Structure 1
Amino acid sequence: MNIGERLNNKGDKILYFFDNGRGKGQRGSLGLFTYVKPKDALQRNHNKETIAILEVKRGQAIIDQQATGTGYIPSHKFKANFLDYYEEYVQTHKRKRNRHLQNSLKHFKTFINRKFISPIEISENFCKSFRRYLLDNFNGETPLNYFARFKWVVDAAKSDGYFKEAPTKEIAAQSNPSASLKENLEADEYLKLLKSPCVNQQIKTAFLFSCYTGLRWVDVKTLRWQQLKGNNLVTRIIQKKTGRPVVLTLHPIAEDILNEQAALNNMDLVHEPDRQKKLVFQLPSQDGSNKTLQNWIIAAGINKHITWSCARLSFSILLQDKRVDDATVAYLMGHTTTEQVQRTYKRHRPHQPMEAIMTLPHKDNWKKDSTTINPIY
């Protein structure tokens, strides 16, 4: 195991790194340095202790290489507390806009309700109990997503030698379909909301913006002017295939909402760099917004239980009603496949059932000559 060294830009310190080759990621910094010309006893002592640490690091790295594939966990890597392992895994693998991994850890801590749990306690029955806890406390895809991330952690621990077999191997992650279907808004109800006043104008305009763009609460809450390019909105949703953000073309009403927000906040008077960083909407908490939203819905004469997430569902349903293909709807909603559109963001209740059955033959086609009717009795 080689430890490389190089001078810093000033030339007064030597920086150290693991030298595993010249490929990407093969020269990871050790975060250690020594003084080229120590000026006093303090710096000389620093150099002496750093050299000792480097030898320990070298020895640990050699042991890590020798232990690979043996199932043995070197003592400097073994986490007696499985929570420590879980937290380290989350820190290493967390990604922006993907909170499932962090939330799986959060609810795992709530489930065990203590600060220490040894790996040996993570048995198959324990894992089934955690899955049951998630199913009892969350609806929809949430318990499936959280348990799937928990399985990632357990599989990684198995690869690192904590388990001979992953205790979650035979336990499938499960969703928990809600007993009550989420409401959606119809086209005529969009118009009612556009015409109806709301006690909080920011909530009204932001919710309508969600209705016309399909953005989630968190996307609208954190929307900044720098994401707007002409009549396009550059979302924070990254396409997996291209690595680029999803770009939405805005509906004219969505554009009008933004123009209204700009005028309201005197954006023309704000210096350009400062304007770019500003939030488009000034919204209270999600719970507070949903309470005001429901009062507005009732005042508009709409007899439905509507929350902010209903805007995204309505966006998808109304597009599908106009025969927009699933692939396009999925793209506009930031999904890489049509699976969620076909399974979740679709119409679950009949729309205008009378209009549907009236497509059957009308009474004008009924034969007035009753002799042509053959009775069955």
Structure 2
Amino acid sequence: MNFLERKTKKGDKIVFYYDFGRGKGQRPSTGIFVYTKPKDQTEKNHNKQALSLIELKKSQLIIESQAVGTGFIPPHKFKANFLDYYEEYVKAHKRKGNRHLQCSLTQFKKFMGKDYVAPIEVNENLCKSFRRYLLDKYTGETPSDYYTRFKWVLAAATADGYYRQNPTEKVSAKSNPSSKLKDFLEVEEYLELLNTPFHNREIQEAFIFCCYTGLRWVDVSQLCWQQIKGAVLTTRIIQAKTGLPVTLTLHPIARMILEKRKRILEATFAEGTDINAQLVFSLPSADGANKLLLQWVSATAINKHITWSCARLSFSILLQDRLVDDVTIAYLLGHATTVQVQKTYKRHRPKDQQGTIAQLPTPELLPYFLNI
């Protein structure tokens, strides 16, 4: 293991760097420095201790290298508090636009209700209890999503030598289907919303925009102008297979909303102001947005419980009604597979039950056959 030394611009200090290679980010700073010309005993003592610390770090890195594959955890790498290990894992693996890993940590902390959790406490029974906690608290795929990330952490901890056997190995993730099917909008209800004025233009235009793009509330609430290039929107969702963000070609209605908002924004800001970093919509909290949405829907003849997530569901169902394939819809929703489209974002009941039943054959002689 090599360490690099570099003088600062002033030349009064020498800073030490790790040398893991020549690639980007492979030469991070150790945070340790020495004075080139110590002026007093304090600075001389500092240099002596700093050089000792560098030697210690060298030995630690050698031990880490030798311990690979042995199951031995060097003492300086061992996290006595499992929450520290969990947080370190989240920090190293978090991905923009994906909140499940961070949320799994947040929920595990709430479940444990304390700041210190020894690794030995995390056993199979505790994992089962945490899964039950998530299932009691959330519906849909959320319990499965959070617990799956928890399993990732335990798998990593097992590989790092904290456990001989993964405590979650026999405790699989489970979803919690809601007993009530979520409502969605039909074509005529889309049109009715479009034709029903509402006092809050931010809510009205943002929700309609979601209906025509399939964006979640969290996506549209953080949407910036720099994500929009002409008729294409670049989402914050990163495709796992390609490592690239999902791009959406905007429907004319969505484009009209953006064009109108941009004209207003450009008229508001001073000439020459860069608006790319500005939010497209100024929205309240998720709860606040849903309350205002409920007011708007109640002004129509739509007799359904419509929440913001219904826009995404409606987007998927109406595309399926037009025979758009599941792979395309999954991509537009930012999913790597079609599982969620086939399981969640689909029509669970026919639009017109009477019309559907009427498709069955009705032979002319049927009344005679039944002796009516």
Q: Does the alignment reach a TM-score above 0.5?
A: yes
Structure 1 residues 86-136: Cα deviation after superposition (integer angstroms, max 9, x where no partner): 112212221211111111111111111111121111111111111111111
Is contact 2:326-2:342 (8 Å) kept?
Answer: yes
Displacement of 1:63 after TM fit? 2.4
The aligned counterpart of 2:208 is 208
Displacement of 1:242 after TM fit? 3.2
Is contact 2:104-2:147 (8 Å) kept?
Answer: yes
In 1: Cα distance, 2:369 partner to 2:89 partner: 75
Query: What are the within-5 Å matches in structure 2 for residues 365-376 of structure 1?
Result: 366-367=364-365, 373-374=368-369
In 1: Cα distance, 2:308 partner to 2:278 partner: 22
Give the counterpart letter for 1:349 in structure 2. R
In 2: Cα distance, 1:73 partner to 1:226 partner: 45
Displacement of 1:59 after TM fit? 2.2
- CA 1:190–1:52: 2 relative to 1, 3 Å: same
Structure 1 residues 308-338: Cα deviation after superposition (integer angstroms, max 9, x where no partner): 0000000011111011111221222122222
- CA 1:178–1:212: 2 relative to 1, 3 Å: same
In 1: Cα distance, 2:26 partner to 2:230 partner: 43
SS of equivalent residue, structure 1 residue 265: helix
The aligned counterpart of 2:175 is 175
Displacement of 1:26 after TM fit? 5.2
In 1: Cα distance, 2:40 partner to 2:272 partner: 51
The aligned counterpart of 1:298 is 298
The aligned counterpart of 2:113 is 113
Is contact 1:217-1:286 (8 Å) kept?
Answer: yes
SS of equivalent residue, structure 1 residue 3: strand
SS of equivalent residue, structure 1 residue 55: helix
Give the counterpart letter for 1:73 in structure 2. I
Which runs of 5 or more residues in structure 1 are unaligned? none
Is contact 1:199-1:292 (8 Å) kept?
Answer: no
- CA 1:71–1:240: 2 relative to 1, 3 Å: closer
Query: What are the within-5 Å matches in structure 2 for residues 52-131 of structure 1?
Result: 52-131=52-131
- CA 1:42–1:290: 2 relative to 1, 3 Å: same
- CA 1:286–1:60: 2 relative to 1, 3 Å: same
- CA 1:115–1:240: 2 relative to 1, 3 Å: closer
Displacement of 1:177 after TM fit? 0.8
The aligned counterpart of 2:278 is 278
The aligned counterpart of 2:16 is 16
Aligned residues: 372
Displacement of 1:219 after TM fit? 1.1
Q: Does 1:318 align with 2:318?
A: yes
Give the counterpart letter for 1:366 in structure 2. E
Is contact 2:96-2:237 (8 Å) kept?
Answer: no
Is contact 2:238-2:245 (8 Å) kept?
Answer: yes
The aligned counterpart of 1:244 is 244
Taking only aligned residues, the RMSD between alpha carbons, in angstroms, comes to 2.3
- CA 1:243–1:157: 2 relative to 1, 3 Å: closer
Is contact 2:96-2:236 (8 Å) kept?
Answer: no
Structure 1 residues 191-218: Cα deviation after superposition (integer angstroms, max 9, x where no partner): 1101112231210111001001111101
Q: Does 1:353 align with 2:346?
A: no
- CA 1:305–1:9: 2 relative to 1, 3 Å: same
In 2: Cα distance, 1:21 partner to 1:34 partner: 23
In 2: Cα distance, 1:333 partner to 1:128 partner: 31
Displacement of 1:180 after TM fit? 0.7
Is contact 2:34-2:46 (8 Å) kept?
Answer: yes
Normalising by the residue count of structure 1, what TM-score does the alignment of the two structures yield? 0.91
Greater displacement, 177-186 / 321-330: 321-330
Query: What are the within-5 Å matches in structure 2 for residues 124-273 of structure 1?
Result: 124-267=124-267, 269-271=269-271
In 2: Cα distance, 1:21 partner to 1:264 partner: 51
In 2: Cα distance, 1:374 partner to 1:284 partner: 64
Displacement of 1:5 after TM fit? 2.5
- CA 1:20–1:292: 2 relative to 1, 3 Å: closer
Normalising by the residue count of structure 2, what TM-score does the alignment of the two structures yield? 0.92
In 2: Cα distance, 1:148 partner to 1:50 partner: 42
In 1: Cα distance, 2:24 partner to 2:293 partner: 51
Give the counterpart letter for 1:295 in structure 2. Q
The aligned counterpart of 1:45 is 45
Displacement of 1:40 after TM fit? 4.3
Is contact 2:290-2:308 (8 Å) kept?
Answer: yes
In 1: Cα distance, 2:296 partner to 2:112 partner: 41
Structure 1 residues 253-294: Cα deviation after superposition (integer angstroms, max 9, x where no partner): 111111222233344754455311111111111101101111
SS of equivalent residue, structure 1 residue 277: coil
Which runs of 5 or more residues in structure 2 are unaligned? none
In 2: Cα distance, 1:350 partner to 1:94 partner: 40
Greater displacement, 199-208 / 259-268: 259-268
Structure 1 residues 221-243: Cα deviation after superposition (integer angstroms, max 9, x where no partner): 11111111112212222233333
In 2: Cα distance, 1:43 partner to 1:267 partner: 59
Displacement of 1:15 after TM fit? 2.6
